[in-house]
Structure formats: structure tokens, C-alpha cells
Structure 1
Amino acid sequence: GTTLAAGGYLVIWCDGAVAATTNSPGPHNSGFALNGGSGDVYLFNSLGQPVDSVGYGVQVKNLSIGRSNGAWQLLASPTPGATNAAPAALALPPGLRVNEWMPAPLTGDDWFELYNTNTQPVDLSGLFLTDDPSVTGLAISPVPPLSFIGARSWAEFLADGHPSHGRDHVHFSLDASGETLRIYDTNRVLLDVVDFGIQSTDVSSGRLPDGADNFVEFPGSATPDSTNTLSAPPTFTLQPQSRNAYTGEAVSLTVKATGTPPLSYQWLSNNVAVAGQIFTNLTLSPVLLAHAANYRVLVTNSVGSTISDIAALTVTVPPTGSAALLNPATVKLSFPVQANRTYQVQYKTSLTTGSWLSLGSPTFVSSNLFLVNDVITGQSQRFYRLAILP
């Protein structure tokens, strides 16, 4: 029941996660997804006879191919349901580089990627990819029509020796004991060459950064069809610090680490994992006597793991002070405290009325005993308390 008006457009979405449309009301969906590396689309009439088709190779992300001036081309922008945009402006092939390769993957096919150093896409159609520099060998694997690489972007090719498996498959496989990878233009002029020696199993090699003349291995961080990144194990830039705390306080231990993302964290208390504490901060609120322990954090990524220094958390109950009259006008206050913390003595003349007032200024105490003298001339009584400051 679906009709298409003269000069009109019918958009068919290709979403493999949504069932195919089987009735007239739109939107229309094919029920399958299109592969960005290689594919074919066919149009049949109601009798099952082919009406039209298109086959394509590697594609540019977020750009479409379409008919322009009677030929299939890469378009400047996608225009579903409307007139096709003008053809995309293209750069010339000399800016292409063999960028990364893996000849000995533990699973899957050998592969390599190209990188386009240009600021515009490049048409790869008709270029030659090869590992054989001989006269006959350099043209063994031509890139199929309608194959493109985006500006400052990548194109992955599978080196399994079976081009029948897709237009992103080449006629050769890679030799992990060492060989050459080459790109030739349509006139068989050499565009780029990489010669490599013995390769590590399941480790890719390539340029760092993309397109540069610096070559490295990428253990644990192969990135086909994406920017080259050298993996690094976790390294601490901030270690957790030991703390003294009183029961009822909120305590936070903090670390900072660098390394290839993502980084995962697990805090340990006396070498036992603390449930739910999987972030850069360990927060205990309110802290209890049972929380006193040696804390560390284990940081892990795809390359490895590392464990922090020990941060000892010492927990005590808040101090109980004492007061003694030195003379009728002077009170000596004594508080057993945790060293290297800041305290503020406060007072009031009645427990039932008025606000607590500060006695002097906040004081950093470096010992375990805090002594303060208070002159109380003209007052019959005073009540004291000790505030523990952050």
C-alpha cells in the first residue's frame, strides 16, 4: 500500500534493532543495519525482480553516498527525504598513511588501518593496497568503488586474504615475522610504505601520534578505526593521607591517579575490599571506632593495576576536658586531644540560655594536650566545650 509520488522520496531507515516495517504507515524500517565497512543495498519489485542496487566499501562517519550528476558520489551532507546535497569536496590521496597494523591477533583476522592527514575526505576507490612490492604484486588488492576515508580520520581493512568476505577485506594476510605495507595511487605511484619486523602476539604497532613518523607498539591498546593511543598503567599523582578522627565526624580519604582510561578503584580496609567504595574518594560518615584501620586503594585498567600507600585512620572518642582554679579569677582548662588538629574553646555562663562564645582564636595543637587559661573575673560560673575544627 505504499506509494511514491513522481519526483518524490521515500526514506527507508536501516535499524537492525527494530523490526522491519510490513505495513504502509511510516516511518519505514528495513529491519537490518548497514555495515560501515562494506555492503550492498538492493531494490526489488513486487515480482522479486531486481530494479536497482548499490554496493559500497568503507564509508565516512556521518556522511552519505548518493547520486549526483548521474553517478554515485560522497555527498557533502546527508539529506534523507530531500534533494541530494552537492558532492563533498575531496582531497588528493598523497596525504594517506598506513597508520596501525596487527599481524598476530589472538582472535579474529589480521588488520591494518589507513589515516587521512588531509582536512577533507579522500576517495580510496582504485587505490592499491599490498604487502608485495613486486611489479605484479603491487596491484593485487585494489580498493573497490565507493570507498572513502574521512578528513583526519581512519579506515580499517581486514587482511585475511579473502576479499569475497567484504569490500573492506584485502587479498593478502600479514606476516608477523615482518614485511611491508604499501599504498599506491591509481597510476601505481607509491603513496606510503611501512616496513616492520617481528611483531608481538596480540599487540598492534603504528604511528604516534596519528600520521606521524614515530612508530611504537601499543600493548593492550589496539585502536582499529580510531586514534592511536599508547597505554599506560595506573600511576598515583596523589596518595591517601593518614588521618586522626573522632567518632561522629565525617572522614574522607582521597587519591588521584593517571593512566589509560577507564580506571577502576577499590578501597581496602586492612586489605579487605570495602563494599561500594569504588571511587577516588572514600567517605565514612559518621566515623565509628570500628572504622579504625589501614586503608589503601587498588587502581586497575586494561594495562595493569597498582596499589596505593597505606593511610592509617585512627579513631577516638571526643575528649573530656577538666577545669581547675589557679586562683579565684583564673581557670586552667585541660583537654586530651589528637595532635596536629585545630580546636576552638567555647564557653557560656548558662547551659539553658545564650549562645556559645569563642574563647580566643582557633588554635592548632601539635601535641596531645591542649591547655588554656581563662580569666573569669566577676562571673560566678562558666561552662566550657571544645569544638573540633576541620
Structure 2
Amino acid sequence: MKRSFLRISLFCCLTHFVQANVPLYGQQNLSDIPLVINELSASNKTDTDPQGQYEDWIEIYNFGAYTIELGGMYVTDDLSDPTQWQVPPETILSPGMYILIWADNDVTDIGLHANFKLDANGEEIGLFDRDGITLIDSVAFGKQTTDVSYGRYPDVAEDWRFFSVSSPGAENSDAYLGEVEALEFSHDSGIHDQPFFVTIATETEDATIYYSLSGQDPLAVNGRGRPLGAVYNGPVLIDKSTSLRALAIKPGWKSSSLDTQTYTFLDPDVQGFSSNLPIVIIETYGQTVTYAERHAYKASSVVVVEPNEPSGRAAINGPCDFAGRAGFRVRGRSSSFLWPKMQYALETWDAQDN
């Protein structure tokens, strides 16, 4: 009798051991569901869905050792509404694999398309079990930048980072802690007739601002290896036509965009000039503009003043309609080099000189 009892007890223990350690397809015990929301993009202009559209997306990763059936689970961007969108039946995720859910609020599209969109200003996403109650994973995120994804680094980790190169369906890499906020200037680009001090700031704490007054990238170096810019420590005097360029950096963070303000000072003799036609002012900062091969432009700045109401005239020292960086060169050398009045080519540039 004792021997039979021992056999029964041993059999029960072995059975329990096997059941507890054999991976089960679609296993729903929360502690045994190795799923995480691994990466997201709330302002996507790079990656396309199966329909060729640029939509928000959510990446779910199976970090376990067995295949999991996602069908019947729920994904939501409102944790008070856990059953907002249900994953279609027969959706499975193999171990070590990723799956994308397109948050485009268009469930009529073929594939995994949720009935909500992500808010680029920040919100929360949740992954719920089939019971609509058990929370498997969630993430709260703040304001997002276009084409900068947000995810765990490394995969599955508790730490979240930003990625300038998103990796939907692949391992997260090349992460940074955040993005330095854009610079703010006390004076915008335009026409000036009196010297002034310009201040530069960013809302990101402990960021260092670099600037140059030569129109060059402040982090670039000259032929001797010396930086072309300087560290900003306080207001900068502007008393002549200047192309001020600046950016802010912080260790472990993505630097701010390179920003430019162009300040144009006019000769006193022309400050009262006006015209019934648009006025275009080109500042070459003392450079001689000669004929150059195609696309070899001199870095300059341009100001455009349009006629305003009710006068119908453009005042050269009035508010400008455009002010920024530009490229300038002589064109048509073969037909104009003998003539005193040459033809010119002008193109406006963005902060990256494109």
C-alpha cells in the first residue's frame, strides 16, 4: 500500500514538471507571455505599410522560446479602453521574431491595421491578453519627432531610447537618450540698421551651444584642425551683416538642428528706398562673385521685401517676407563675359545648404 502511494505521488510530480516546462502554443498565463511593445513610430515618413502608405506603427517582439498566438489579444492607445482593437485570429509570432501593427485607423486595409492613430505629442499604448483585463505590456511616451522612432534599448530592456534610423521588424540599435530642443534666437533674420546683442537658448538642460559668425558650421574645423565656431557663453554683438549659425549638443543625445539667422545691415544712403516692385537684397559678405562651374555657388544671404498694403510699395527697411541663406554665382559665361552687365543665378538654401 505504501509502495502504491509512492508511485502515484511520483507520477503526479513528474506530470506537473512536464506540464510546467513544455512551451504551450498560445499560452496565456501572464507570467509566461514573453511579449513586449519593443518600438514605435508616431510620426512616420520613411517606412511604408503594405498599401504603400506612411503610417504610424507599433512593433511587438516575442523574446521567448515558443510561438505565441496573438490572435484575440488587444492593442490600445487608451488604457481605460483595453479592448479598443483586437488582433485578428490566427495571427502568430514565432520566437525571436517581430510583428508590426499599423496604427492608421483604417481596418479595411489588408493586414494588421488598428482602429486608432498614435498621437505624436505623446500618449500611452497597451497590449492586453484575450480576457481584455490582463495587461501584458505598456509604454507611455512623450512628444515624438518625425522619422525618429522610440524603443527599448537593447531589445526587451526596460530602458527606452530614440533611434534616428528606425528598425521595424529588426533589432534596435544606434540609440540616443533624447533630442536636444531647437534653438531660440532673440532676433530673427532680417534687415537691421543698429547694432544689437543676440541671445541663443535651448530648453534642454545641460546642453552646450556652439555658434559661428562666418556662415560656417560651428563644429567644422579649418585646415589646422581648429574649430570654426565657439562655445556660447552669453549675448553676441551683431554690428554688421552676419550669418549666424548655431547648434546645441549634449552627450548621449541627438544634437539640435543646425540653425541659421542672417542679419543684413544696409548702407545709410539706401535705407529710405522704396519701390512698387519687390526688392531683393543679396549679401555676399565681401566675397567676389565670379563665373563658376555649374552648382559652384558662393554662400550668401538674401532678403525679399514685397509691396505691402495699403501703399502698394516695398520699403527696403520694412518687414521682410523672406530672409535666409542662399547660393549666388555668375552664369552664362560663354555669352555674357564681354558685357559689363552679367547674368546671375540665385538659389535659396536650407540649414543643410540644400
Same-fold call, TM cutoff 0.5? no
Which is higher, the Rg of structure 1 or of structure 2?
1
Measured against the shorter chain, the TM-score band is: 0.3 to 0.5
In the superposition, the TM-score normalised over structure 1's length comes to: 0.35
Which of the pair is proportionally richer in helix?
Answer: 2
Which of the pair is proportionally richer in strand?
Answer: 1
In the superposition, the TM-score normalised over structure 2's length comes to: 0.39
